[in-house]
Amino acid sequence: MSQKTVNDYISELENNQGKIVSEIREIILKTAPFVKESIKWAQPVYENNGPFAYIKAFKNYVNLGFWRGVDIKDTKRLLKGFGSKMRHIKITGSNDIDELVFADYIRQAIALNKEKGDPTKGT
């Protein structure tokens, strides 16, 4: 049995969700082509010194989430959430996607993992 890929994840999505996930994925891989992409926790996860971002499709929106979201300088006030570390951006359509802002947040998330280590290791 082969492991599920991000392409598989996208192909299983309905409505506009696959297009939105594909657009976000493209921004992540364009911004940081060196990162590891895989399916973990039933969603696309992006890693560099541990996981830094994920994409999760829900029925009516898609989240772009960041493990160290509380530490990202959220100049556009896009990040939502209440936990001690993670934050996410809720995307309901392609018009919610801001490539420059998303790329900035992705670069910040990677830099935070480089500085602080793997966020799943309690640091």
- Listed residue (21, 20, 23, 11) closest to 44, CA to CA: 21
How many whole angstroms from its chain centre is CA 60?
17
CA distance 62 to 84: 21
- Check if the beta carbon of residue 26 is closer than 8 Å to that of residue 37: no
pLDDT digits (tens, 9 = 90+) for 40-90: 999 999 999 999 999 999 999 999 999 999 999 999 999 999 989 999 999
Q: Just give the CATH number of 6-121.
A: 3.90.1150.200
CA distance 58 to 26: 19
What pTM value is reported for the model? 0.94
Question: Structural domain boundaries of the chain?
Answer: 6-121
If pLDDT is split at 50, 70 and 90, which confidence band does 15 have? confident
Q: Is pLDDT of 123 > 70?
A: no
